[in-house]
Amino acid sequence: MRDVHDLLNKPSLNGIPLLVLGNKIDKPGALSRHALIEEMGLSFMASM
């Protein structure tokens, strides 16, 4: 997850949207959408 945060802190990428896909999130045992956002540390920028 550090790589994502490193990218988010680059001035050249400021203002560019970030799309995170939770593939197979509907499968048993998968993280929920909210859990994925929390696990990645992206709750500060989530719009669901």
**pLDDT, tens only, 1-48:** 678 888 888 999 888 888 888 889 889 999 998 898 888 888 887 665
Is 25 labelled a binding residue? yes
**What pLDDT was estimated at residue 16?**
86
Which pLDDT score is estimated for 1? 67
Q: pLDDT value at position 46?
A: 65
Any known ligand binding at 6?
A: no
Whether 23 has a binding-site annotation, put simply, is yes
Determine whether the annotation assigns residue 27 to a binding site: no
Read off the tokens for 25. 């999130």
What are the residue boundaries of the structural domains of the chain, listed by start?
2-45
User: Where does residue 26 fall: left (phi above 0), alpha (psi -120 to 50 degrees), or beta otherwise?
Assistant: alpha
Q: Please report the pLDDT score of residue 12 as a whole number.
A: 93
The pLDDT of residue 29: 92
> Residue 15, exposed/middle/buried by CB under 10 A (0-12, 13-18, 19+)?
exposed
